[in-house]
Each structure stands twice: as C-alpha cells, then as structure tokens.
Homo-oligomer: A and B are copies of this chain.
C-alpha cells in the first residue's frame, strides 16, 4: 500500500462511494454508487428479489433490501489480499432486476435470463443477491450462453433434483437444469459443503460428473487440499461462484429457508473464498438469505461480507486481465 490511506479514501468518495455511519443515507450494496445506466462499468451489484422457486419457508425476496441495509457495516479493504475492489474496478449498484411477471415462476426465469444477457452484452460482470437458488439457472444461461462455465457452488444441497410439485425451474434443480441447458460443464463443477439427509435426491451430481465434497470430506481433507482440488477441476475456465447461505451452519446464518445443521462457520467460508484468488472468476451470487428468519441481521451481515469477498475475486480477476 504505497498510496496514503487518506488519499485513497478521498478518491473513493470522489467516485461517489458513500461512507459514514452504518445507518446513514440511502442504502446501496457495499457503498458502491447507484447507477441506472450500464455504461463504463466493470461489475454490477444486483438485487434479485424473487423467491417463487422456493419449496419450504419463503421470504428470500426480501433479501436485497436487507443486504443493502447492512452493507455499510462492511468496509472497503481486504487486509488478507490487500485489495480495495471499489478502487481497482468500476463497480456500481445497478438496482434490482426488473420482474414484470413476478407472480409467474417460468416467465420470471425468462425475464431474468434476458436481463443478464444485456449485462453480458455490456461486458458487465454480475454479482447478485438473490432470491432463492432458482435465480442462478437463468443467470448461468445468460453468462454461459457462449462458453460453458465452470461452477464453484458452496451449499448444503446439490440442487440437482428433478421436477417438484409440477415445477421444473425451482431452487432444487438449478444445476441439473444448467447442465441440461448446456451452459455449465458438470466436469468443471464443484459442490462444496453438501450435507444433511436429502442425499438420495442428488444422484444427478454423481452421474453427470460433478465433484461433490461433503462437509465431512472438507473437514477430513482440510482447506488446503480442498482448494487444490477445486483449482485442478476448474482450471482457467471462466468460473461462476454460487454461494448458498445455507452452506453456513444455522448458528451463523439462521436466516434461510431450508436450514441444515452441521455447516460451515463464517470463518471457514471466508477462508474458502479468499483462497479462490487466481481463478478466472467472472461472476457470482449469494442466494437463499431469507430475512424473516434472521436474528438481528447477523445473516444479512454475513451475506454482505460474502458479497464483498466475491467482489474482491471478480475485481482482481478483471484487474489481472487488464494488466496483461
């Protein structure tokens, strides 16, 4: 850090990054400026307030607003990686995905895809706060429309189940849908943190070639070897990071709709994310945060912090490419 801190902070303010107490002013994601057009932008921070794809406790539609609310409690600097993402990339909160058919699951899945296709055209890397996990499928459809993506999914559930109560596009089938749509490569897909008592329903993961790392395997292997495995699998392929908040133990993230005990601590999750540096991360999401079941916003805070870590990964990746 050669540049003086105060000079950095002054520069960020001049770019429109809000500072000040946690509770002051209009709330945006991670203090990024709010922009309604898509020009001159590297990374878009996006709200996707949609949960018609959820099967159990609803409410993830309320997540973007609460994450914006808690965003001021997250600072600007990653002391482990020495990065200030808002400084090394052009980042903005570009609002919520418009959902003109928000009471219709299938039409909304299409509307979401269309929206992200526009971002792809503008060469904006998206980082999204869902919404339930059903929203990741149309995002992947847009982002993987030209080249199959690698996926690092941190989650309690594989989400590779089949149709459910008459719906195909729901949150339990997202990654099966994405494979079948040809937009992600199952052989370059890692599912990390899987646990619980529903494993019967996810044989598609195994059969399609995904790498499933159960939580017990994570603890047996240790962080270092898990990271090595992930890096071997995804290589330099453009990679999407999908972080389901229920990968965390309910003690750390009570605010979710399908909680499973025995998950990651917040510290473990942050260490996993920070160790993904160097990969070709081109976008990501934090999904399944469900505010009505949160306790005093601790899940909102961890969701905002995870969003920040993904932002660090994507901004550094853009930066590295620009330097070449």
Contacts and interface: CB of A to CB of B under 8 A. Distances in A.
**A: contact size bracket:** 35 or more
A28 to B, nearest CB: 7
A32 interface: no
Contacts of A47: 25
B101 A166 contact: yes
Contacts of A197: 74-79, 305, 308
Interface string A85-120: 000000000011001111111010000000000000
Contact of A165 (B102, B270, B295, B305): B102
A58 B56 contact: no
Contacts of A75: 196-200
Contacts of A302: 250, 261
A59 B58 contact: yes
B203 A5 contact: yes
Contact of A250 (B201, B215, B258, B298): B298
Nearest to A78: B197
A49 interface: yes
A305 B261 contact: yes
A165 B164 CA distance: 24
B104 A105 contact: yes
A47 B295 CA distance: 26
B200 A5 contact: yes
Contacts of A79: 195-197, 199, 214
Contacts of A258: 22, 73
Interface stretch (A61-69, A143-151, A230-238, A314-322): A61-69
A57 B23 contact: yes
Nearest to A30: B197
A196 to B, nearest CB: 6
B166 A103 contact: yes
The 9 A-B residue pairs with the shortest CB-CB distance in the complex, in nearest-first order: A75-B197, A292-B292, A103-B167, A79-B199, A58-B58, A101-B166, A75-B198, A261-B266, A250-B298
29 contacts: A21-B102, A22-B57, A23-B56, A23-B61, A25-B95, A27-B65, A53-B103, A57-B62, A57-B292, A58-B58, A59-B59, A75-B196, A75-B197, A75-B199, A75-B200, A77-B198, A77-B200, A78-B197, A101-B165, A103-B166, A197-B305, A254-B296, A254-B298, A259-B298, A261-B301, A265-B265, A292-B293, A295-B295, A295-B296
Given A23-B61, A79-B214, A219-B267, 9 more contacts: A5-B200, A27-B65, A58-B61, A74-B197, A103-B166, A197-B308, A216-B271, A249-B266, A251-B252
